[in-house]
Amino acid sequence: MMGLLQFGSVFFSSAIQAPQLRPEAASSIAEGVDHLYFALTFITLFFTIAIFSTIFFFMVKYRRRTDDETPGETEENLPLELAWTIIPALICAGLFLWASSLYFENSRPPSASTEIFVIGKQWMWHIQHPEGVREINELHVPLGVPVQLTMTSEDVIHDFYIPAFRVKKDVIPGRYSTLWFQATKVGTYHLFCAQYCGADHAEMLGWVYVMSPADYEAWLSSGSPNQTMVQIGEKTFNKLGCSSCHVSDGTGRGPSLAGAYGKEEELKTGEKRLVDEAFIRQAIITPNSVVLKNYPPIMPTFRGQVNEEQVLQLIAYVKSLGSEERNSNGK
Amino acid sequence: MAIHNAHAPGFAHQFEDMEQQREAGSLGMWIFLLTEMMFFGGLFATYIVYRALYLPSFEIGSHLLEVKFGALNTTVLIASSLTMALAIHSAQIGKRSAQVGFLITTMILGAAFLAIKFTFEWRHDYVEHLVPGFGFLIRPEWGAPGAHVPMFFCFYFFMTGLHALHMIIGIGILTVLTVMAHRGKFTPQYYSPLEVSGLYWHFVDIVWIFLFPLLYLIGGRYAGGGH
Amino acid sequence: MSTATLDVHELPAGSRVNYLNAQYGIKSWLLTTDHKRIALLYLGSITLMFFVGGFFAVLMRLHLIEPQGALVQPETYNKLFTMHGVIMVFFFLVPSIPATLGNFLVPMMIGARDLAFPKLNLLSWYIYVIGAIFTLYAVISGGVDTGWTFYTPYSSSFSHTSVIPTALGVFITGFSSILTGLNFVVTIHKMRAPGLTWFRLPLFIWAIYATSIIFILGTPVIAITLFLLFLERVLHIGIFDPAIGGDPILFQHLFWFYSHPAVYIMILPGMGVMSELITCFSRKRIFGYSFVAFSSLAIAIISFLVWGHHMFVTGQSIYAGLVFSVLSFLVAIPSAVKVFNWTATLHKGSISYDAPMLYALGFIGLFTMGGLTGLFLASLATDVHLNGTYFIVAHFHYIMVGGAVMAYLGGIHFWWPKITGRLYPDGWARFAALVIFVGFNLTFFPQFMLGYLGMPRRYAVYPSEFQVLNVMSSAGASILGIGYLIPLIYLTWSMRYGPTAGPNPWGAKGLEWTTPSPPPTENFEEIPVVTEEAYDYAHSTVTRG
């Protein structure tokens, strides 16, 4: 009852701001998702109303009038059974194909996306632009350009959710997940954590700022000059002593990393692996799980010495190392 | 309706006759074993996932187990399944002392299994600091895979422990059956408790047949490193 | 307390020996092996757990009328939604219809004197109670805040709350389900009365049978999963914690392998009740008997193949997503078939508006809506937007509350005269059904909208633009809460003051209605021989009596 009174007062006081029915659609995929959503809504309401009204109609038409009346008999009707099995199956098949093809499109980032890095931790979002700008609980992105987020968590599973873009992906400790979007409207949009992660899960909020490309560039270079991720990564690489083994001309105890990113390498176990972000992270945290053929397993682990942000910076640095021919030592 | 069944030994009155009771008991045990398969199955699935992820660590762990005890235990269990089957057969042909004898032998073999496991294997592992949570010592000579050797032993103790728990329950059931057999409760017309318990005992045996190679025989300790 | 046996000559004139008065004393109840008494033991414990879980829900909805939270700290709110979920799922919904109505009716509907293993049945109840005690202990010793889904590594390595007692409580109670399912399957296979072939069985039995398959195959897996969680929390081995080499997503696979089929455990018995209610209150045979029967089995089997749809945004491969998506669409079809068959049963019937029928009709509409909103979630593209939001909360509450709870209440009302020998006041019953229907929709319909707008679930505080819809939902919840209290009151009242019921007050078909109300301990004087098809209303007049 208290709720009813509250409802009444809030409703009337905010009558001019009646709750909107549809979230803003601010990404390239939002309209497509909404079309599917509306189709599903239509089907749901159609069948719900159809069933309810049929029931209501039968309830009234066939209500019991006298206690000893004999009801009619309806024979089993195979064509009818088949019809109402096959028609829903066809509707489901259609929805499945529509939803899946949309999902397929929405899951593959176009090449040449702007890459931004996200680290979730209880209870905030750390955003790292490759150019060096860092944000907390805010994400500035340029309009009209595909943006790919590479994300990981420092602790528990979180989930990066931007309702206006219709995108969401779990952010999982120990691995990288990605999502991409292309913003289509300048504005400010909610960012939520959508996987329960502990006490302040509901406060793990943020804002996404979509700016025109010119404004975005200006914003990136405003404020005190930042070192880019590659520069910080290089500093860390040298500070932690990585450069003593991973000598660029291949004369060190470890393989040269020049051009290493994107190559396929063979491990000591015979398995072949692609050197991507996940591989490099594994090499830093659990080096003995990815020892290359012809190399001794002597790389120490850096677990505990680098946080996820530093790992991403190191990865950025490794990626930046040119594709000069690697020295034959180690092949 | 078979009126004489109302007074047959062990007849339970929710049933119509002994035949229905026997069938119900048998079906009930098979379904129970199906649930046990799902129970152990979930555990085996998790073990298999981590064995694939951490094969080097699991190899180290496996090689620290003594195959001779595992093999001995396997023989002991298979023998006990034989004696269990012979106990049932003795009931079918109405030999009371043979029933009791075979049931007791089955129990002794089951107890032997547990004794070998607990004193020669588990106690040894405890002394050697190979029990996770009870002062596990990661040896430096294991190198980097050493970090995940405790996980192997966690699975080892959980899986063999769960199996041992089922054996202990089985021995308890056998005790009750032995007493009943001694009192002549089982006849060629009525021996379904023996049959149904036999099913349980064979199941526990079969779980071990899977456990032994999965835990003890990983990774070419005899084949000289083939993978 | 002694177990006194009644001397028939001492009974007040006009009463009769039945299962309720055949023996008195607390020992005769706590050591009973009579399936009907065990059903009542469950009824009492399940009702208690329902109101405990419901109390937490009321606190949650009161808290959410203000964006910054009106009632409790976020840490407490997180415990409230967790405990609401754990108690409602594992201690109310999963056992509800099978343990109460199933235990009471399965032997009676098939013409048997009891279940196959009566002592095992009593053991099942004790196991349930012990599990409940562990979980209630967790509640009073500070609560648990992991969500009923216990996702790792939060639950295994980060939460400082009573995870272990809760997990142990659920683990223990699982064995209650397993043994009950085993009991039902054996009973249905082996103890049917002469002439009662499979296709003459009431559809409630088919539904219970399908549910029991899920009990048997699914529950052991959650048992192992929770035990692994327990080990992880105690020993920190690294099974689920990535910081020490574990895989947190493996937990989700293991958890949902049971918990998805579990939701079908929660709805299938309700569907069985529907078939009984619709046929009785339209006095007609069910339309499409074999289709409804096989649909129950199809749902049970396919339910094991769809668990990945809870994990579409965890980064699983697109191809895995496609497989789980298509199977999730597939599982919707047998449910649709049932809804159409129930509706068609009404055609040319003789329909009365007694309270059980009102619950049944409400069920059909609300289950349809709940089920169809499942299609939004089976669709990969929309699930991305809706996962983890209030849309999911609304979807499953439409099915669990709009569906399962309404079926449960409908069944309780329908068989109440048989179980207690008393009639309840139908006017109040119909009124309560209406209040519940209205309160339910007002509570949960706005949540669909909240989800689409982007409000995530499990939020103790929320942006203020979501307030209007939240207040609507909370208003509905207060109505719904009152609606649930009304039957508690008049049903309890009826046990002492209600008019006595005859053997068949609804004029229903079914072997249970051929016995006196309440039935004698042994159910039937003589085991009946069955010659009719199920729901054979057309060929014999059945009068209310």
Q: Rounded distance, CA C338 to CA C342, Å?
A: 6
- Kindly tell me the number of DSSP H helices and DSSP E strands found in chain B: 7, 0
Q: Rounded distance, CA A29 to CA C503, Å?
A: 62
Name which of A271, A286, A288 to mutate to probe chain B: the one with the most chain B Cβ atoms within 10 A of its Cβ.
A288
* Residue A186 covered by a domain: yes
Beta carbons of C216 and B50 less than 8 Å apart: no
User: In 10 A of CB C229, how many CB atoms?
Assistant: 24
Is there a contact between A19 and C469 (Cβ–Cβ < 8 Å)? Answer: yes
Residues of A with CB below 8 A from B143's CB?
288, 297
Q: Which residues of C447-459 are buried (b: 16+ CB within 10 A; e: fewer)?
A: bbbbbbbbbbbbb
Residue type, B151: M
In sequence order, which residues have a C-beta less than 8 Å from that of residue C278 and are 6 or more positions away?
Answer: C286, C342, C345, C346, C357, C360
pLDDT score for A108: 84
Summary mean pLDDT of chain C:
93
Beta carbons of B145 and A288 less than 8 Å apart: yes
Mean pLDDT of A259-264: 90
pLDDT score for B227: 36
Shortest distance, CA B137 to any CA of chain C (angstroms): 13
Largest CA distance in chain A: 100
Chain B residue whose CA is closest to A297? B144
* Residue A51 covered by a domain: no
Residues of C with CB below 8 A from A85's CB?
291, 333, 336-337
Q: Given a cut of 60, is residue A28 above it in pLDDT? A: yes
* Residue A284 covered by a domain: yes
pLDDT score for B220: 62
Q: Is A82 exposed, middle or buried (0-12, 13-18, 19+ CB in 10 A)?
A: exposed
Beta carbons of B143 and A287 less than 8 Å apart: no
Q: Does B224 touch chain C (CB under 8 A)?
A: no
Is there a contact between C136 and C446 (Cβ–Cβ < 8 Å)? Answer: no
Is there a contact between C472 and A5 (Cβ–Cβ < 8 Å)? Answer: no
CATH assignment at residue A197 = 2.60.40.420
pLDDT digits (tens, 9 = 90+) for B16-38: 888 999 999 999 999 999 999 99
Beta carbons of A19 and C384 less than 8 Å apart: no
Residues of C with CB below 8 A from A200's CB?
74
Percent of chain A with pLDDT over 90: 61
Q: Which residue range(s) make up the domain with B95? A: 25-216
Beta carbons of A33 and C385 less than 8 Å apart: yes
**Which chains does chain C touch, 3 or more C-beta pairs < 8 A?**
A, B
pLDDT score for C3: 45
Q: Rounded distance, CA C341 to CA A80, Å?
A: 10
Count of the separate structural domains present in chain A: 2
Higher pLDDT, C196 or B53: C196
The size of the A-C interface in CB pairs under 8 A is 299
Mean pLDDT of C324-345: 96
Name which of A267, A289, A295 to mutate to probe chain B: the one with the most chain B Cβ atoms within 10 A of its Cβ.
A289
Q: Rounded distance, CA B165 to CA B144, Å?
A: 34
Beta carbons of A73 and C284 less than 8 Å apart: yes
Identify the band that residue B226 occupies on the pLDDT scale cut at 50, 70 and 90. very low
Q: Where are the beta strands (DSSP E) in A204-305?
A: 206-211, 264-266, 272-274
Q: Rounded distance, CA C2 to CA A185, Å?
A: 79
Identify the band that residue C244 occupies on the pLDDT scale cut at 50, 70 and 90. confident
Q: Does domain C33-514 have CATH number 1.20.210.10?
A: yes
Is C23 strand, coil or helix? strand
pLDDT score for A268: 82
* Residue B3 covered by a domain: no
Name which of C237, C247, C258, C525 to mutate to probe chain B: the one with the most chain B Cβ atoms within 10 A of its Cβ.
C237
Q: Where among A221, A239, A259 does a domain terminate? A: A221
What is the strand order of the sheet A158-162 is part of?
A: A138-142, A206-211, A187-193, A158-162, A167-171
- Comparing A190-194, A226-230, C14-18, the range with the smallest average pLDDT is C14-18
* Residue A187 covered by a domain: yes
Beta carbons of C343 and A95 less than 8 Å apart: no
Q: Given a cut of 50, is residue B103 above it in pLDDT? A: yes
Mean pLDDT of C242-259: 92
Identify the band that residue A270 occupies on the pLDDT scale cut at 50, 70 and 90. confident
* B-proximal residues of A, 259-298, CB under 8 Å: 286-288, 297
Q: Rounded distance, CA C69 to CA C459, Å?
A: 10
Sign of CA dihedral C74, C75, C77, C82: positive
In sequence order, which residues have a C-beta less than 8 Å from that of residue C48 and are 6 or more positions away?
Answer: none
Whether residues A261 and A189 share a domain: the answer is: no
Is there a contact between C278 and C285 (Cβ–Cβ < 8 Å)? Answer: no
Higher pLDDT, A227 or C198: C198
Higher pLDDT, A271 or A171: A171
* Residue B225 covered by a domain: no
pLDDT digits (tens, 9 = 90+) for A273-296: 999 999 999 999 888 888 888 888
Shortest distance, CA C446 to any CA of chain B (angstroms): 39
Is there a contact between A246 and A255 (Cβ–Cβ < 8 Å)? Answer: yes
Percent of chain C with pLDDT over 70: 96
Identify the band that residue C13 occupies on the pLDDT scale cut at 50, 70 and 90. very low
Is there a contact between C262 and C220 (Cβ–Cβ < 8 Å)? Answer: no
Beta carbons of A297 and B144 less than 8 Å apart: yes
Q: Does C199 touch chain A (CB under 8 A)?
A: no
Q: Where among A221, A256, A275 does a domain terminate? A: A221
Domain boundaries, chain C: 33-514
Q: Given a cut of 70, is residue A324 above it in pLDDT? A: no
Q: Where among A221, A243, A258 does a domain terminate? A: A221
Q: Rounded distance, CA A93 to CA A101, Å?
A: 12
* Residue A205 covered by a domain: yes
Q: Given a cut of 50, is residue A14 above it in pLDDT? A: no
Q: Which residue range(s) make up the domain with A280? A: 229-320
CATH assignment at residue A242 = 1.10.760.10
User: Tokens representing C17?
Assistant: 């020996």
* Residue B170 covered by a domain: yes
pLDDT score for A3: 53
User: Tokens representing A310?
Assistant: 């530093």
Rg of chain C, C-alpha, whole Å? 23
pLDDT score for B50: 92
pLDDT digits (tens, 9 = 90+) for C87-109: 999 999 999 999 999 999 999 99
* Residue A85 covered by a domain: no
User: Tokens representing C461?
Assistant: 């505080």
pLDDT score for A326: 39
Q: Which H/E stretch holds residue A140?
A: strand A138-142
Whether residues A250 and A192 share a domain: the answer is: no
Length of chain C: 545
CATH assignment at residue B78 = 1.20.120.80
**Which chains does chain B touch, 3 or more C-beta pairs < 8 A?**
A, C
Q: Given a cut of 90, is residue A107 above it in pLDDT? A: no
Percent of chain A with pLDDT over 70: 91
User: Tokens representing C357?
Assistant: 């029928």
Whether residues A199 and A233 share a domain: the answer is: no
Count of the separate structural domains present in chain B: 1
pLDDT score for C542: 58
